[in-house]
């Protein structure tokens, strides 16, 4: 099991939360799984939906905790303990309202930044020393600093979805790079901001 890695996408279970901004972590691991035709299965003992994939010879477990966001760490701890996965083989994918839409930021460790899912993981595994990919969702223009609940639980606007698709594809590639080459290479190659180029106007 030396090559086993755990990739956790954070979100909330249930159709009412599907495709919301707060669920981009779920969306990222779903894309990674679909690229490998992974079969997802709800595992009650881990309070999670899980899928197994191979990435260039590395065994990888994809996870969507079904505890709801604020209790995500409970599920993560159960899986780490059962499979004896070290924290340096854990990667968490999460939304970040303080990062602009289109932004991607992988770090080897760090604070929760006020994100309740990361707070729960930090509390349950007793540390911040695990990798995380933050996917920028931005903030609603004119909103108060912390009054963002309705915004993060809302779905992306039609005008945003093309950019979100590009970001998720890039995050999928970054996760693969993290698995095969480590954090430094994955950060250097994929951290940054993606912007949609405006369509070229045809001269009449």
The structural domains of the chain, with segments of one domain joined by +, span: 5-193
pLDDT of residue 196: 82
pTM of the model: 0.92
Closest of 2, 85, 95 to residue 50, by C-alpha: 85
Torsion of CA 22, 25, 26, 30, to 10 degrees: 140
d(CA 157, CA 199): 18
Q: Per-residue pLDDT tens for 60-78?
A: 999 999 999 999 999 999 9
Catalytic one of 22, 66, 115, 116: 22
Task: Answer yes or no: is pLDDT of 182 > 90.
Answer: yes
Task: Answer yes or no: is pLDDT of 203 > 80.
Answer: no
For range 138-149, the mean pLDDT: 66
- Name the pairing type of β-strands 90-96 and 58-65: unpaired
CB 108 within 8 A of CB 67: no
Percent of the chain whose pLDDT exceeds 90:
86
Poorest-pLDDT segment among 22-31, 89-98, 145-154, 160-169: 145-154
Task: Answer yes or no: is pLDDT of 201 > 80.
Answer: no
Task: Answer yes or no: is pLDDT of 3 > 90.
Answer: no
Which CATH code fits 5-193?
3.40.50.1470
Confidence of residue 193 (pLDDT cuts 50, 70, 90): very high
Task: Answer yes or no: is pLDDT of 31 > 80.
Answer: yes
Task: Answer yes or no: is pLDDT of 138 > 50.
Answer: yes
CB 52 within 8 A of CB 60: yes
Tell me what the pLDDT averaged over the chain comes to.
Answer: 93
Confidence of residue 1 (pLDDT cuts 50, 70, 90): very low
Q: Per-residue pLDDT tens for 107-132?
A: 999 999 999 999 999 999 999 999 99
Determine whether 116 is an active site residue: no
d(CA 119, CA 76): 12
């Amino acid at each position: 099991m030396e090559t086993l890695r755990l990739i956790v996408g954070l979100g909330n279970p249930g159709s009412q939360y599907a495709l919301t901004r707060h669920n981009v972590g779920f969306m990222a691991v779903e894309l990674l799984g679909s690229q490998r035709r992974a079969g997802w299965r709800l595992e009650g003992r881990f309070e999670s939906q899980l899928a197994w994939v191979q990435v260039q010879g590395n065994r990888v477990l994809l996870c969507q905790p079904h505890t709801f966001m604020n209790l995500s760490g409970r599920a993560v701890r159960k899986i780490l303990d059962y499979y004896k996965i070290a924290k340096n083989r854990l990667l968490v994918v999460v939304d970040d309202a303080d990062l602009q839409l289109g932004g991607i930021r992988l770090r080897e460790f760090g604070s929760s930044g006020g994100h309740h899912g990361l707070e729960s993981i930090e509390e349950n595994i007793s540390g911040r020393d695990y990798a995380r990919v933050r996917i920028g969702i931005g903030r609603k223009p004119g909103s108060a600093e912390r009054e963002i609940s309705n915004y993060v639980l809302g779905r992306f606007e039609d005008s945003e979805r093309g950019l979100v698709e590009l970001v998720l594809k890039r995050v999928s590639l970054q996760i693969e790079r993290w698995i095969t080459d480590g954090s430094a290479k994955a950060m250097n190659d994929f951290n940054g901001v993606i912007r949609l180029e405006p369509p070229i106007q045809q001269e009449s």
